[in-house]
Structure 1
Amino acid sequence: MKKEDKAKVIEQLKELLETYPHAYLVDAMALDAEQTTALRRQCFQHGVKMMVVKNTLLHRAFVDINEEQYEPFHPYLKGTSALMLSESANAPARVLKDFHKELKSAGADIKRPSLKAAYVYDTFYLGAGELDTLAALKSKEELIGDIISMLESPIMDVISQASSAGNTIHGVLETLEKRAEA
């Protein structure tokens, strides 16, 4: 690869890393063409951008952006690496978990693609053991929904109690009226 081409790739990687808030580094070495296509399709469906990258070019992009910020990624830049970028924190982890389930149901005994490292919500998750933790993280939209439902719950309780109190008062008045007539 020519020096100019490398510089273009590094610039593209820098733009993508600055655009997407969450980055996953994945080992996708043992996948054949059909499996890679299936994984890319799932990534596209879930809004995850996936690309196979040269480790040295990705390392240079990390250094150019902020070497200290991405320094925990450096030991994991070995072997075949795929970079998964997403707006949603948990989407790449869920894609990987679903893809593993599909491989297992098809009878394949493949442990890849496996998580090398992830940068999510300004925190690093290192190693394949963190995949379940990352998949369980809530996205920004899910957190907002939870907050809204927590705020809405007390209001709904007050409205419910007020409407039931009105029914209770109405019932008491009807009973008193029937007694008065009798």
Structure 2
Amino acid sequence: MTREEKSIAIEDLTAKLAEANIVYIADTSGLDADTTSNLRRACFKAGIKLEVVKNTLLEKAMEASDKEFGDLPSTLKGNSSIFISDVANAPAKIMKEFRKKSDKPYFKGAFINNEIYIGDNLLDSLAALKSKEEVIGEIIGLLQSPAQRIISALLNNAEQKGEAAE
């Protein structure tokens, strides 16, 4: 790779990092072709961009970015792939699903809404996070429940009065 190609790759990665609020880093080496293809397909279906990256280029892109990646560059050893998503728990769920069959992909770390998570032991916790849509749905459900009970009580009361009038 020439110096110019490296520069272009760093600029490209920096732009991707600037747009993303959720970036996972994992080691996907050792996966056979079929599993890798299935992983890419699962990521595509979930709206996750998966890309194998060179550690030094990603590290330089992190340094060039306006975002603070903390100790995340220290995880860039061995093979690295980045998962870029709009949903905080989506990459963790996919990794967890694929790890039912093997120990890969190995979770290295994540940048989620300006928070840094490092270590494979956090994968289960990240997969258990609720997405924004799930939290909003729960809140709407909680808000609707009392209103539905009041409406139901009023309707029952009106029906009972109607029966008594007859």
TM-superposition CA deviations, 1:6-49 (whole Å, max 9, x none) = 11111111111122210000011221222211211111111111
Q: Does 1:144 align with 2:136?
A: yes
- Aligned equivalents of 1:41 and 1:26: distance in 2? 17
The structure richer in helix per residue is: 1
User: 5 Å matches for 1:95-174?
Assistant: 95-101=94-100, 103=101, 110-174=102-166
Q: Does 1:70 align with 2:46?
A: no
Report the secondary structure of 1:119's partner residue.
strand
Task: Single out whichever of 144-153 and 8-17 deviates more from structure 2.
Answer: 144-153
Displacement of 1:65: 0.7
Where does residue 31 of structure 2 map in the other structure?
A: 31
Quick one: which amino acid aligns to residue 159 of structure 2? N
Task: Single out whichever of 158-167 and 81-90 deviates more from structure 2.
Answer: 158-167
Where does residue 88 of structure 2 map in the other structure?
A: 89
Where does residue 177 of structure 1 map in the other structure?
A: none
- Aligned equivalents of 2:56 and 2:36: distance in 1? 22
In the alignment of these two chains, the number of paired residues is 166
Where does residue 54 of structure 2 map in the other structure?
A: 54
Q: Confirm or deny: 8 A CA contact 2:26 2:107 kept in the other structure.
A: yes
- Please say which structure displays the higher CA radius of gyration: 1
- Aligned equivalents of 2:117 and 2:69: distance in 1? 12
- Aligned equivalents of 2:66 and 2:19: distance in 1? 14
Where does residue 79 of structure 2 map in the other structure?
A: 80
Report the secondary structure of 1:71's partner residue.
coil
Unpaired stretches in structure 1, ≥5 consecutive residues: 104-109, 175-182
Identity, % of aligned positions: 40
Quick one: which amino acid aligns to residue 146 of structure 1? E
**TM-score, normalization: structure 2?**
0.93
Unpaired stretches in structure 2, ≥5 consecutive residues: none
Task: Single out whichever of 42-51 and 142-151 deviates more from structure 2.
Answer: 142-151
Q: Confirm or deny: 8 A CA contact 2:70 2:116 kept in the other structure.
A: no
Displacement of 1:173: 3.8
| Aligned-residue CA RMSD (Å) | 1.5
- Aligned equivalents of 2:149 and 2:136: distance in 1? 20
